[in-house]
């Protein structure tokens, strides 16, 4: 089961709390300064080191399918989406089917629509240039950590942006290393490195509230995702599970104390 779903579902209620916090217009929550961006960068460096390993694996795999070095580095720098990039390699060939490739990449990254929606209560106070600039670097780890911080009433825009920059730099660096040293780690799964991101996101989930309501939301999301995995097109289970849990969380509101 995709552990990302647990993290997405458990933060639905936090997004609603964020709206209440912003009703008091606490400007510190969406403050974006050099100091908090640098702090966010440093906070995400440890997980970024593991991201670099997968970037290395991507660089090696992309080389093996025939992409040139500049295209490989360019893809990691501009796309910045590991799962999508690996999927693109599977569809790569002498003649690339653009429409199936685009549909596949959209399906894998559709979760960013939901991530953007949960961040909107804070992002809307930023100028458009900053708002979309921050979103360019939003990934699962910095999104999850930022949502937890926002739900505690702590400023997290620097964590979101600075942490994203850290992940991006190490992803591109890992890709570059893969062009030259990828043969040293050509199978990260055999070393258990594929579990790092899942364990990280699971820790984020268990760091949230624990009650019957949240448990039932998780169960609904997991069941919906499993059904979609079996009976719907590939990668749709990610969006289906997140929507099922998110809708239930919105309908079944948490009681006010």
- pLDDT (0 to 100) of residue 13: 47
Query: Is the pLDDT higher at 157 or at 30?
Result: 157
- What mean pLDDT value characterizes the chain? 78
- pLDDT (0 to 100) of residue 190: 67
Residue 80 to residues 12, 73, 136, 254, Cα–Cα distance (Å) = 25, 10, 9, 35
Neighbours of 65 (CB within 10 A): 13
CB neighbours of 230 closer than 8 A, spacing ≥ 6? Answer: none
pLDDT of 192 > 70? The answer is no
Give the pLDDT band of residue 217 (cuts 50, 70, 90).
Answer: confident
pLDDT of 133 > 90? The answer is yes
Closest to 8 measured CA to CA, from 217, 150, 228:
217
C-alpha 43/C-alpha 55 separation (Å) is 20
Give the residue carrying structure tokens 């599970």.
Answer: 241
Give the residue carrying structure tokens 């290395």.
Answer: 56
- pLDDT (0 to 100) of residue 187: 63
5 contacts 225 by C-beta, under 8 angstroms? yes
* DSSP line for 12-36: HHHHHHHHHHHHTT-GGGG---HHH
Neighbours of 66 (CB within 10 A): 11
* DSSP line for 166-185: HHHHHHHHHHHHHHHHGGGG
CA–CA–CA angle 89, 79, 74 (5° rounding): 80
* 6-10, 113-117, 124-128: least confident range: 6-10
* 16-25, 43-52, 66-75: least confident range: 16-25
- pLDDT (0 to 100) of residue 95: 72
* Assigned token pair, 114: 């939901």
Query: Is the pLDDT higher at 153 or at 173?
Result: 173
118 contacts 10 by C-beta, under 8 angstroms? no
Region 92-112: what's the mean pLDDT? 76
* Cα of 119 vs its chain's centroid, Å: 12
- pLDDT (0 to 100) of residue 181: 75
242 contacts 183 by C-beta, under 8 angstroms? no
C-alpha 148/C-alpha 205 separation (Å) is 9
pLDDT of 15 > 90? The answer is no
C-alpha 239/C-alpha 241 separation (Å) is 6
Helix (H) or strand (E) holding 42, with range, is helix 34-64
CB neighbours of 254 closer than 8 A, spacing ≥ 6? Answer: 13, 16, 213
Coil vs helix vs strand at 48: helix
């Amino acid at each position: 089961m995709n552990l990302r779903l647990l993290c997405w579902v458990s933060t639905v209620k936090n997004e609603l709390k964020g709206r209440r916090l912003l009703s008091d217009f606490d400007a510190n929550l969406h403050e974006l300064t050099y100091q908090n961006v640098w702090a966010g960068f440093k906070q995400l460096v440890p997980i970024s080191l593991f991201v670099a390993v997968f970037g290395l694996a991507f660089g090696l795999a992309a080389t093996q399918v025939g992409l040139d070095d500049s295209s490989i580095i360019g893809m990691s720098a501009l796309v910045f989406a590991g799962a999508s990039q690996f999927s693109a390699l599977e569809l790569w060939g002498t003649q690339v089917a653009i429409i199936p490739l685009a549909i596949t990449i959209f399906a894998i990254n559709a979760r960013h629509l939901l991530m953007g929606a949960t961040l909107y209560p804070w992002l809307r106070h930023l100028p458009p240039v900053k708002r979309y600039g921050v979103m360019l670097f939003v990934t699962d780890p910095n999104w999850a950590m930022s949502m937890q911080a926002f739900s505690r009433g702590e400023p997290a825009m620097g964590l979101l942006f600075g942490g994203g920059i850290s992940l991006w730099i190490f992803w591109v660096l890992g890709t570059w290393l893969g062009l030259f040293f990828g043969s040293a780690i050509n199978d990260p799964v055999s070393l258990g490195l594929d579990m790092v991101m899942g364990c990280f996101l699971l820790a984020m989930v268990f760091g949230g509230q624990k009650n019957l309501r949240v448990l039932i939301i998780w169960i609904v999301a997991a069941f919906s995702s499993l059904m979609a995995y079996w009976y719907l097109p590939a990668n749709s289970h990610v969006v289906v599970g997140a929507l099922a849990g998110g809708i239930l969380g919105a309908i079944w509101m948490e009681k006010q104390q």
